[in-house]
């Protein structure tokens, strides 16, 4: 018997999509602020955006892992 893959619940889809958008936005902000900052404020701004991007990326990977585990439990 072939196991059918269950679709991801909407709450996981929304959470993952939202985090992906936030990571992309932070990446765009870093690009917009400039790769070679001219002032100390630009350097600080870029550092904040990169830190936020790393944090959001970790949350995104955790959300993806939780979604995989959830679908595996349902399929078992």
pLDDT recorded at residue 4: 61
The rounded distance, in Å, linking the Cα atoms of 28 and 1 is: 47
- Whether pLDDT at 69 is above 60: yes
pLDDT recorded at residue 5: 67
DSSP 18-52: HHHHHHHHHHHHHHHH-SS-SSHHHHHHHHHHHHH
pLDDT recorded at residue 63: 93
Mean pLDDT value of segment 1-10:
65
In tens, the pLDDT along 11-44 reads 888 999 999 999 999 999 888 887 677 889 888 9
In tens, the pLDDT along 42-63 reads 889 889 999 999 999 999 999 9
């Amino acid at each position: 018997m072939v196991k059918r893959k269950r679709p991801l619940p909407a709450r996981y889809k929304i959470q993952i999509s939202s985090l992906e958008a936030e990571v992309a936005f932070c990446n765009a902000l870093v690009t917009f602020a400039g790769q070679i900052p001219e002032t100390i404020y630009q350097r600080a701004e870029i550092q904040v955006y990169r830190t936020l991007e790393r944090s959001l990326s970790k949350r995104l990977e955790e959300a993806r892992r939780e979604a995989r585990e959830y679908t595996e439990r349902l399929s078992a």
